[in-house]
Structure 1
Amino acid sequence: MTHLSSTHLPGPGPAPSDRRRPPRRTGLKAVVAVSVVLAVAAGGAYAAGAGPFARGDEPLDPAAAAQARAFLADWAGDRLDGAAARTTNPATAREVLRNFTSGLDIRGPRLTAARAARTGDGDGEVRVPFTAKMPVSGLGTWTYRSQLPLRKQGNGGWKVDWKLSLVHPHLSESAKFRLEREETAAPQVTDRAGASLTGGSYPSLQAVLGQFAPGGGGPRGAIRLVDRVTGDVEGTEARFGGKGAGGDKPVATTLDASWQAAAERAMAHADGKNASLVALRVDNGEVLAMANSPATGFNRAVSGTYAPGSTWKIVTSSALLLNGSVAQDTVVDCPRHLVVGKEFHNVETSEFPGATFRKDFTESCNTAFISLRGKLGGSELGDVARKYFGVGQEWHVGVPSYDGSVPVPKDETEKAASMIGQGRVQANPLIMASVTATAASGTFHQPVIVRGGEDTTRTTALPAPVVAQLRSMMRATVTEGTAHVLADLPGGIGAKTGTAEVSEGEPNNGWLVARRGNVAVACVVEQGVTGGGSAGPVLHSLLSAVPDDPS
């Protein structure tokens, strides 16, 4: 069966998605639920005034470019009233943008602007080209290029000169887009050894099983360009999924039934809170287990968007070690408070005067890391995350995933927050398990749940001395630091805890990442307060239940 949805102009569009709504009862209900959360959370990656311009671009007219940047930021962040207000026709712009993104099930757009340029006809118009990456719920990412026309107003300011074609070059008064989904029955799914995996036996996989199609082709669909009056198809803009070469052949995944069962049981230690975890192989990125609590919710483990908190200090430490700013024995004082636009403090307002960088890492000292922000350039943290850890590149995991975001900080306060995995840094357990694996081995491997998929990532190996120091500090975090909850387990485990602020008055999310042998794991517990206290028991249960690495 094929399901259709489309853009409209004008007229009321679909109601905005509600983060907490129940999933639709279709073959893609888990995917839709995943995407709803992405729509809400991914907006945080583009705060107003934060530019999606590529590093090094120097716009021709700063004022015009700034307005283009703000328009794209508002559109990407689902602040459609704000985006529309930046145009010459706010009422129409608001309706079209809403219908385009909601009507085509687009969640969390990523809009990247290029260099601004004046048109050659001397009319004073400035154009800003941009690349749009539009994640279509449960299907994949639709990528295309368009451009924003901007015109100077009578008051001297700039506005986006509203045209349908700026949304997409083929959108017009006579043609619109239609999303077609081909519903496929949930296939048989097996683990890495051929054992059957079902939602009844492994409840956390309920959010994943509907994302596969028989033969491993994945969910299928297309975006068509159609005549507004007749509905006739004029062209196909994007296709998603394939027919799958296997017919009724079960989908063979990289999951391990023993690890998955242990992960399901470990979720009981989240004490009823929303939580998720991922376990994957260090040597090749193959996912061994992913689990969510509640099991009937969306797949937080792979598609959630969270501030990673102090687990991100693995990446921050890598950046500082790479450029020679610190070594393990470098003295970096850890005061109780530090003010950078706002007051930052350590968990339970702890302090360690005269601490070494190693001590700052093992005790997860926020103020020490923030004090080192001047050692990194504005985009350096994001560059390191992308170049060495693959974060922010497009991953092809085998199911829809969110692949992280590390925007360039817009000011010193946000830069300070980024140093400790706050601000607009976004990740999830899949990303942080991968970060942990990369830190342990030095080499990034794109995480996968189905072998043989596309891999477009391009990364550089971490230097051996950096890897050695990261492994040493992570091991010390278990033996003498905040991850002591894992100290009684064998295997020379290395780990990093994290506490991530969510909003004023809300309990913090708790994080823990760990590496044992050839396995890296990551867990987040929403409103868990501390990483060791909330995520610690979850990962302790998991690692206790499966003492041997999979072959």
Structure 2
Amino acid sequence: MSPTGDDITRGRRAPRTALRAGVAVAVVLAVATGGSWAAGLGPFARDEGPDPEALAQARAFLADWSADRLDAAGGRTTDPAGAAEILESFTAGLEISGPKLTAAPPEQATEGEDGTVTVPFTAKMPVTGLGTWTYRSTLPLREQDDGGWKVDWRLSLVHPRLSDTEKFRLERAETDQAEVTDRRGRTLSAGKLPSLAPITAHLDGTAGGGPRGAVRLVDRATGEVERTEAEFGDESAGAASDGPVRTTLDADWQAAAERALGEAGGKNAALVALRVDDGEVLAMANNPASGFNRAASGTYAPGSTFKIVTSSALLLKGAVAPGDVVDCPQKLTVGKEFTNVGDSSYPGATFREDFARSCNTAFISLRGKLADGELGEVARKYFGVGQEWHVGVPTYDGAVPVPGDETEKAAAMIGQGRVQANPLIMASVTATAVSGRFHQPSVTAGTEDGTSTEPLPEEVVTRLRDMMRATVTEGSATMLADLPGEVGAKTGTAEVSDDQENNGWLVAHRGNVAVACVVEEGLTGGGGAGPVVRSLLAAMPDDPA
């Protein structure tokens, strides 16, 4: 387990008032989990342009807002309680789930004569069941008496037209709901399977041309419409199709997945189960069940579950073999100090043992074996991560950016830093690793597949399967060892920020099923996500039809 970028310390610079342009470094917003990591990394520590700490605070605010950590986002402003309340009412009132908020490159940030730093950003707001509302706004930041930076809170930063006298209202046109069925033709009801709500909301009515609606700017006092900000659908929509919308989901697996999330102890969590041979999604469950579809649209640092991809990259170029000794010290410093979960160490461990026990320091020590962009290239070329997926519901399709420095590269080796994924992505990664071929996940039949990938060599697949099996029999996923069938797995513990507990991850495969689960603030992969995955696989011992 490695500390977040917030542990990096830098000398403070005196406030500046001259307007200066340009930190020539591309910024990829670490939306959601891991945002505070991006806030502290070295690539932004430049002595030109607006203060990098102001830019980092802007990215962290947007990351918290994107991840629905609204209290944390509010805490980064000059009005914590008021900001959190407005962000909540804005996203909930407009039925926005999984917003994607992206800061402009640093060279577009400006510094005013009064020292205020202004950071432009793009907002992509998915309105449940309708479409995405995209607009641009700006974040003003002001240096505080303690030398830190805060977002200077005002309504207009949420949207330029939001004010004390105007607000937004979502209007939906009446449409007939289409029946939604599982893979065997059984009707799926969000009433009986609550986690289906964000999925069926997108599918309902789509077979008849799509739902219609609009976001209107209205007068707060009179409710009179002043302008239309976004429109969705067309006039031909409104009638459901002649038949039901058939999905790839399996009602039994979906029910078992929703019950399994009860093992998360009431924490925010998400789970995906899909078929290895074709990528068809069997279950997609979230806790809480309504609102944000964390399973497919969440953006999290995947932690050590991403070592499946890192191992693939190393094995593909013959940089290491499972039996090679790769020492696992307790600590390793690469710009900052990285440690293992529980400060463990395994002197003389083989690479296979490093994988099974999830040794961070061993993996980081191999970073020189890979070119800076190689990890992202392997993720995209073999696993489809970062390509555009057409699943049938809105998704976030992952990111593995080229690292900006050695610290960031070290973090990426263990699925931290700016690496971003969600349970749908990691279930797919698991299926690809154990079958050798990427299949675009799907929730509905006939989805467009514009991805382009190559198969993993058979030798790499064999080695990955062996290492994942060792993780169950002798490593960090032994809680799955007594389940029937040959289960393979990988745990992950992903750090978030200084004021939040670690997220727990676990991915697993058995037969023709791959599963991925994240439990926010689950502390560890085995302790947080392990019981959830175990519950699902114990309840569903056979492969789906």
Contact 1:417/1:423, CA 8 A, preserved across alignment: yes
Greater mean deviation of Cα atoms: 234-243 or 387-396? 234-243
Name the TM-score, length of structure 2 as normaliser.
Answer: 0.70
For residues 491-540 of structure 1, what are the alpha-carbon distances to aligned partners after superposition, in whole Å with 9 as ceiling and x for unaligned? 11111011111111432111110011111001111111111122111111
Partner secondary structure for residue 300 of structure 2: coil
- Alpha carbon RMSD of aligned pairs, Å? 5.2
Contact 1:49/1:410, CA 8 A, preserved across alignment: no
Partner secondary structure for residue 489 of structure 2: strand
Partner secondary structure for residue 32 of structure 2: helix
Q: CA deviation at 1:437?
A: 0.6
Distance 1:202 1:70, change over 3 A: closer
1:203 maps to: 194
Does 2:489 align with 1:498? no
Q: CA deviation at 1:294?
A: 2.5
What letter is aligned with 1:458?
S
Contact 2:34/2:301, CA 8 A, preserved across alignment: no
What letter is aligned with 1:214?
G
Residue of 434, 437, 447 corresponding to 1:453: 447
What letter is aligned with 1:338?
L
Residue of 425, 443, 454 corresponding to 2:437: 443
1:189 maps to: 180
Contact 2:30/2:418, CA 8 A, preserved across alignment: no
Q: CA deviation at 1:113?
A: 9.3
Residue of 341, 345, 368 corresponding to 1:347: 341
Contact 2:330/2:340, CA 8 A, preserved across alignment: yes
Q: CA deviation at 1:46?
A: 11
Residue of 249, 257, 260 corresponding to 2:254: 260
Does 2:508 align with 1:514? yes
Q: CA deviation at 1:350?
A: 0.9
For residues 269-301 of structure 1, what are the alpha-carbon distances to aligned partners after superposition, in whole Å with 9 as ceiling and x for unaligned? 112222111100011111101112232352221
Distance 1:239 1:298, change over 3 A: closer
Does 2:203 align with 1:212? yes
Q: CA deviation at 1:220?
A: 4.4
Contact 1:214/1:249, CA 8 A, preserved across alignment: no
Contact 1:215/1:249, CA 8 A, preserved across alignment: no
2:298 maps to: 304
Name the CA distance, whole Å, in 2 between partners of 1:322 and 1:335.
25
1:334 maps to: 328
Name the TM-score, length of structure 1 as normaliser.
Answer: 0.70
Distance 1:243 1:282, change over 3 A: farther
Distance 1:222 1:374, change over 3 A: farther
Q: CA deviation at 1:187?
A: 3.2
Name the CA distance, whole Å, in 2 between partners of 1:504 and 1:513.
25
Contact 2:389/2:440, CA 8 A, preserved across alignment: yes
Residue of 228, 231, 241 corresponding to 1:247: 241
1:89 maps to: none
Does 2:487 align with 1:487? no
Name the CA distance, whole Å, in 1 between partners of 2:252 and 2:34.
37
1:365 maps to: 359
Name the CA distance, whole Å, in 2 between partners of 1:186 and 1:276.
26
2:391 maps to: 397
Residue of 32, 35, 54 corresponding to 1:41: 32
Partner secondary structure for residue 493 of structure 2: strand
Name the CA distance, whole Å, in 2 between partners of 1:419 and 1:39.
16
Q: CA deviation at 1:214?
A: 2.5
Partner secondary structure for residue 490 of structure 2: strand
Residue of 296, 310, 314 corresponding to 1:316: 310
Q: CA deviation at 1:72?
A: 11
Name the CA distance, whole Å, in 1 between partners of 2:413 and 2:244.
44
Distance 1:245 1:334, change over 3 A: farther
Contact 2:215/2:231, CA 8 A, preserved across alignment: yes
Name the CA distance, whole Å, in 2 between partners of 1:211 and 1:51.
40
Residue of 316, 319, 322 corresponding to 1:325: 319
Name the CA distance, whole Å, in 1 between partners of 2:196 and 2:461.
34
What letter is aligned with 1:264?
E
Q: CA deviation at 1:183?
A: 5.5
Distance 1:452 1:240, change over 3 A: farther
Name the CA distance, whole Å, in 2 between partners of 1:205 and 1:427.
21
Name the CA distance, whole Å, in 2 between partners of 1:244 and 1:71.
44
Residues 70-469 of structure 1 correspond to what in structure 2 (within 5 A)?
108-109=99-100, 138-140=129-131, 182=173, 184-214=175-205, 216=207, 218-220=210-212, 243=237, 247-469=241-463
The unaligned stretches of length 5 or more in structure 1 are 1-37, 53-61, 83-100, 117-129, 146-177, 225-230
For residues 294-321 of structure 1, what are the alpha-carbon distances to aligned partners after superposition, in whole Å with 9 as ceiling and x for unaligned? 3235222112221111101001111111
Name the CA distance, whole Å, in 1 between partners of 2:332 and 2:439.
37
Distance 1:295 1:74, change over 3 A: closer
Contact 1:50/1:73, CA 8 A, preserved across alignment: no
Q: CA deviation at 1:353?
A: 0.8
What letter is aligned with 2:503?
N
What letter is aligned with 1:280?
L
Distance 1:354 1:219, change over 3 A: farther
Contact 1:193/1:256, CA 8 A, preserved across alignment: yes
Identity %: 68
Distance 1:378 1:76, change over 3 A: farther
Distance 1:290 1:466, change over 3 A: same
What letter is aligned with 1:195?
R
What letter is aligned with 2:377?
D
Q: CA deviation at 1:424?
A: 1.6
What letter is aligned with 2:430?
T
Contact 1:211/1:218, CA 8 A, preserved across alignment: no
Q: CA deviation at 1:380?
A: 1.5
What letter is aligned with 2:188?
L
Q: CA deviation at 1:402?
A: 1.5
For residues 362-393 of structure 1, what are the alpha-carbon distances to aligned partners after superposition, in whole Å with 9 as ceiling and x for unaligned? 00000001111112222221121111111112
What letter is aligned with 1:356?
T
Distance 1:405 1:179, change over 3 A: farther
